[in-house]
Amino acid sequence: MDLGRPNTDHSFFLIAGPCVLESRQHTLELAAAINNIAKTNGIPFIFKASFDKANRTSLHSFRGISIAEGLDILAEVRSVENIPVLTDVHEAQQCQLVATAVDVLQIPAFLCRQTDLLLSAATTGKAINIKKGQFLAPWDMSHAVEKVRSVSEHSPVWVTERGASFGYGNLVVDFQSFPHLRKTGCPVVFDATHSVQKPGSLGNATGGARDMIPTLARAAATCTDGFFFEVHDTPEKALSDGANVMRLSEFGQLLSELQEIWRIGKRFRE
C-alpha cells in the first residue's frame, strides 16, 4: 500500500481498529477480522490501536499497556497480517521509538498544535495523521501541516476531521470543513466514531451516539479520501470508547454502502 497515495481509483482508504490495545490475543483477532473485511471489499487498510490513552476523562479509567508491550503487539500485527499499522504519540520523545514498530504516527486532536511533537514526528520520515482539534477551525490545520513539512517535505501527511465542540458534552461535524482541509494538499480523513462522542456525558467517562455513526459516515463519503473507525467485537465490554465504537458485526455492510457513495462522489472531487 502506497501511504503517499493511500486510496485507489475504486475505494477510499481505511484506518480502523480498537481504541486501545486490550490484550495481544484480542488485538490479533480483531486485526485479522477487520483485514478480512477490508480485503473482501478491496479497501486499502491501516490497522490502528493506541498503547496509551493519555486523555481519559477519569484518573481511574483504563489507559492501556506499556509502550514496550504495545509496540511489540503492533509490530506483530504488521508482520502477521502484512498491513501498515498506526498508533498515537503524545510526547516528542516517543516518536523515534514508536517509528520502529509502526508505519503511521498519529497526532491526537488535543495535541494538534504542539509544535515540538509535530516536528519530532516529522523527523522519523513516517507518514503522519494529524487529527483536527475539536477547538480548531479547519483552515488553521494548514499551520500544523506546515510544521511537519518544514522538517520532512516529502513524508505523507493526512488531516482528519473528528467533529468540533458544541457547548458542553457534544460534538458536531461541519461539512464545510472538508473543502478547507483539502486546501492543505493532504488526503482528508473522516473520523466517524470520535465525531459521535458525548464528552464527559457519563460523569466519569465519555459517552456517545453509536447509532449515528452510519449517518455521519454516509454523509462524509462524498467528500473524504479515507475513513477512520474505532471498531470492537463487543462494544459493551470495550475498555475505552465503548459508547462510540463501531460494532464489528455491522462493519462490513457499512463499508460496502460507503464505497457505493464514495465512488459517486469521486466524480465531483476531481
Domains in the chain, please, with CATH?
Answer: 13-269 (3.20.20.70)
Q: Which residue has the higher pLDDT, 204 or 195?
A: 195
What distance in Å separates the CA atoms of residue 3 and residue 226, rounded to the nearest whole number? 12
Which whole number is the average pLDDT over 158-169?
A: 91
2 or 120: which leads in pLDDT? 120
Chain-centroid distance of CA 169 in Å reads 21
Q: What is the rounded distance in angstroms from the CA atom of residue 27 to the CA atom of residue 32?
A: 9
Q: Between β-strands 207-208 and 197-198, what pairing exists: parallel, antiparallel or unpaired?
A: antiparallel
Q: Is the pLDDT of residue 205 over 70?
A: no
| Burial of 60 from C-beta contacts in 10 A (0-12 / 13-18 / 19+) | exposed
Distance CA 261, CA 21 (A): 31
Residue 171: in which H helix or E strand, if any? strand 171-172
pLDDT surpassing 80 at residue 34: yes
pLDDT given at position 9? 76
The pLDDT tens digits for 99-112 are 999 999 999 999 99
* Mean of pLDDT values over 70-75: 97
More confident residue, 7 or 10: 10
Q: Which pLDDT score, from 0 to 100, does residue 63 have? A: 81
pLDDT at 201 over 60: no
Length of the chain, please? 270
248-265: average pLDDT: 96
* Rg, C-alpha atoms of the chain: 17
Q: Which residue has the cell 493532504?
A: 186
Residue closest to 51 by CA, chosen among 82, 24, 80, 83: 24
